[in-house]
């Protein structure tokens, strides 16, 4: 029986960059500006929980919704 959020299940900033399709520099910038997903500090290491990444992505604004011709 494994406990949730073991060290092996935590994501690195490189993992988060790969998941989001953005650069590691962007992930670091989000952390610096406190705009990105929640993270954990383990000594000097930064790790992310996958559920925090999912929640953060779900909270991001979306766009591209089509407006109906009547609402123009």
Answer whether residue 69 is part of any domain.
Answer: no
Answer whether residue 38 is part of any domain.
Answer: yes
User: Which residue stretches of the chain have pLDDT < 70?
Assistant: 1-8, 65-72
The per-residue pLDDT for 1 is 45
Answer whether residue 70 is part of any domain.
Answer: no
Answer whether residue 37 is part of any domain.
Answer: yes
The per-residue pLDDT for 64 is 77
Spell out the long-range contacts of 20-23 with Cβ–Cβ below 8 A and sequence spacing 24 or more: 20/57
The per-residue pLDDT for 38 is 95
DSSP state of 11: B
Please name which of 23, 71, 19 lies closest in space to residue 48, comparing C-alpha atoms. 19
- For residue 12, what are the domain limits? 7-57
Answer whether residue 45 is part of any domain.
Answer: yes
> Whole-angstrom Cα distance, residue 72 to residue 56?
32
Per-residue b/e over 18-28, b at no fewer than 16 CB within 10 Å? eebeeeeeebe
The per-residue pLDDT for 40 is 94
The per-residue pLDDT for 12 is 95
């Amino acid at each position: 029986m494994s406990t949730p959020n073991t060290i092996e299940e935590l994501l690195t900033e490189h993992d988060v960059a790969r998941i989001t399709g953005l650069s590691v520099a962007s992930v670091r910038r989000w952390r610096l500006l406190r705009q990105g997903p929640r993270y954990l500090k383990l000594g000097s290491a930064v790790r992310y929980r996958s559920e925090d990444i999912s929640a953060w992505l779900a909270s991001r604004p979306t766009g591209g919704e089509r407006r109906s011709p009547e609402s123009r």
